[in-house]
Amino acid sequence: MIGTQAAPVRHIVIQGLTFTQTLAEFPSGNEYYKTPNAGQALYLESAEDCSIRNNTFLAVGGDAIRLQNNNARIRITGNEIAEPGSNGIFIGSLQRGHSRHDTFSGDVPSPTEWFRDRFDQDVTLKQWPRSTDHLIQNNHIHDVGQIEKHSSGIVFFGVVGNGCILSHNLIHHSPRFGISLLSGFGRVIVEYNHLHHLSLETADTGAVTVNRWYTHPRDPDLLAGNIFRFNLIHDTIGCAAYGKKLEAGGEHSKAGGRILVPYYSWSLYFDNAPMDVLVYGNITARDTLGGIMISHYCQNVTVENNIFLDSERFQVYLLLRGEMENVRFRRNIFSYRNPAAGFMKLNVNQSADKVVHAVVTEFDRNLYHLPAGTALSFDSAFSAPDAAGWRTWGYDRNSLFSDPKFRDPSKGDYSLGPDSPALTLGFKPIDSSKIGLLTKTVGASGSAR
């Protein structure tokens, strides 16, 4: 469905259909993995107030659903999307040339470029299409990226996505991302989603990945940042075939050590200047490099009331470089059983204590449940603290080290017993029964997991 900005398509309902066996439009020699380069089964452009509900998309060649360029108030609900060649749901556009060091991609300027040059900011904002106020809810999306491995269950790329809500979706078995917000602007709320078994074929990735998604003080619609709340994320693996290791991990490698797995992945991956982000009430479990990664040029990131479980290497990963300020961790639960795992990776390019003090304004009232005989450990090339040193920096002075008293963690029940010490710290219980699909989606793939 294609309208124009002057005369958009309006009030169309697509319901109860099956889309299958459409052709792929890639790969081609002149495409680039960062750009939208797939065909699609269902395409909307310049559409408003339309609904896509209770359909099945099975083994389509490219993206199952694509909202291209300017669209508004599209409801995508109750669909099953299984085995698409590329993404499940794609909301995006392609405006090349704005990242000066990588002009072929459709990226916004890099953080260094963005903070340095106001001209880059203004030109980019004028060019970026607006795909706003969508509701993407109660969709079952799985086994994406059958052909294109740089794929997500749901992806925003190269748009202003202000006012969009992604809620109560079940997303699993992806070669790369579950949900990704890439090179865009505007508050997107990601809540009550269940994501698992992701990043199965690629590395430098996360179940939820945000890369170059900026706020902007001179646009009143773009002042507020993203919200990630009450999501359940587990089994984010990571896999690579690099010639040499770029990160820790890969101890269970395959093919004679040529394929690194699990490797170079996080549950929540905030790369390249996360701005004005709230991370609240999420549960992450069994990832590789950490439940959360916060990258350089971070601004106003609050991580509160989350449960981070059993990361293989680290629980928190901080890459602190560039212009940064106001990162807060409070009232979180960190619980891990691997005695070889560490608590925090501090990746900095100068004295760690000076950088951390300047950027991390609060890290306190957390609950730690560590392997027997271990203490908080830190990995940093510069002035890495020990547990006592961490407290002398002013952090975790009111935190506790104790069993959080999960009701039945062996069965994935991380609700807290009434005697949990986390409650004395002000931790608010997370009702995981509200996470995931609201109702069973339609579909005939027979491959729900």
**pLDDT digit string (tens) for 28-47?**
666 666 666 678 999 999 99
What CATH number was assigned to the domain covering residues 9-305+430-434?
A: 2.160.20
Q: pLDDT at position 448, please?
A: 47
Tell me the domain boundaries of the chain.
Answer: 9-305+430-434
Q: pLDDT at position 111, please?
A: 94
Q: pLDDT at position 280, please?
A: 98
Q: In angstroms, what CA-CA distances link 352 with 181, 295, 347, 348, 430? A: 29, 15, 8, 6, 33
**Terminal-to-terminal C-alpha distance of the chain:** 32
- Which regions in the chain score pLDDT beneath 70? 26-37, 349-353, 381-384, 442-449
Q: Which residue has the tokens 């259909």?
A: 17
Q: pLDDT at position 102, please?
A: 87
Residue type, 272: N
pTM: 0.95
Mean pLDDT of the chain: 91
CB 237 within 8 A of CB 197: yes
Q: pLDDT at position 353, please?
A: 65
